[in-house]
Amino acid sequence: MIEAHDLEKRFSVLRKAGRVRRAREDVVAVAGVSFTISAGEMVGYIGPNGAGKSTTIKMLTGILVPTSGRATVAGIDPTRRRVEVARRIGVVFGQRTQLWWDLPLRDSFDLLRHVYRVDAEQHRRDRDELTELLDLAPLLDIPVRQLSLGQRVRGDLAAALLHDPEVLYLDEPTIGLDVVSKARVREFLAARNRERGTTVLLTTHDLDDIERLCSRVMIIDHGRLLYDGALSTVADRLGEDRVLVVDLAQSTPALQVPGARVLSVEGPRQRLAFRRSETTAAALISAVSAAADVVDLSIEEPDIEAVIRRVYAGDLTL
């Protein structure tokens, strides 16, 4: 459904070099990215700020023309046939609205019907369904500028889906949303993907979004894809390090247990790092309880966020 072949985008920027002189400099935003996303997939696209996520999406929507390489969306080149692609995709930029600022949602939706030339009956049905799913009924008559961020994002989602696009691009859809609004948006997206088979490409800084929605994740940094595969693989391959936290009956010096390394001793609480490949949690627990009197224990699973942070920092290669 979405294909990218060696997509590259360079910008030339003018940098101040002295009082009047300006130096021209080539900045590579996306440096040859290739991937294929099949119909019905929901893919997370993550990377630190400035990694090239938005630039990639803008090339896949036809907003930006790639410097080299090629993209196709639903079999169409978005650069050459942007208008055709526009009919088949929906886009939500979390930071920005594509609704008309001074108009109530109802009027925006009406305008979009004409913009996308959707049949009136079809439009009414889809609008009513989206209104119900996103709980927009009480907001329909309020001008967009008076909506809260969460309300506005829901409005934007409805607006992006009114023409029933095959592909949905979401650029940080949950940025700045509270927990409840986030959950609602995620639930809605998952259902839409399940029921209509909408292909979704999602960029986000919120790994919770990815964990809950996407079975596949692509990690980009400095314009290059670092990883493309299942999120669980990232967790498995990198998340070997687990931590056993034990609260002992009394403070003791660092425990000596085979297969584990003591990370810290805080009074009666000790944290022991161990590897899945070297020992099991059960073996470790029995070894610890043999050595000391355990009051309480818990296991810390690898923090996916920490893992991704290490990937960005270049500590880990996938």
- Please tell me whether residue 93 binds another protein under the rule CB under 8 A: yes
147 binds another protein (CB under 8 A): no
Rule CB under 8 A: is residue 116 a binding residue for another protein? yes
Alpha-carbon gap, residue 191 to 189, rounded angstroms: 5
User: Cβ of residue 63: shortest distance to another protein, in angstroms?
Assistant: 5
- If one asks whether residue 84 binds another protein (CB under 8 A), the answer comes out as yes
User: C-beta of 163: minimal distance to another protein in Å?
Assistant: 9
One symbol per residue from 280 to 299: x for binding another protein (CB under 8 A), - otherwise; what is it? --------------------
Nearest distance in Å: CB 11, another protein: 6
Residue 31 or 160: which CB sits closer to another protein?
Answer: 160
One of 37, 44, 58, 144 touching another protein (CB under 8 A): 58
- 10 sits near another protein (criterion: CB under 8 A): no
Is residue 30 close enough to count as binding another protein by CB under 8 A? no
Q: Does 62 bind another protein (CB under 8 A)?
A: yes
Q: How far is the CB of 21 from another protein (least distance, A)?
A: 18
If one asks whether residue 67 binds another protein (CB under 8 A), the answer comes out as no
Binder of another protein out of 33, 42, 64, 257 (CB under 8 A): 64
Residues binding another protein (CB under 8 A): 11, 50, 54, 58, 61-65, 79, 82-84, 86-87, 89, 91, 93, 95-96, 98, 115-116
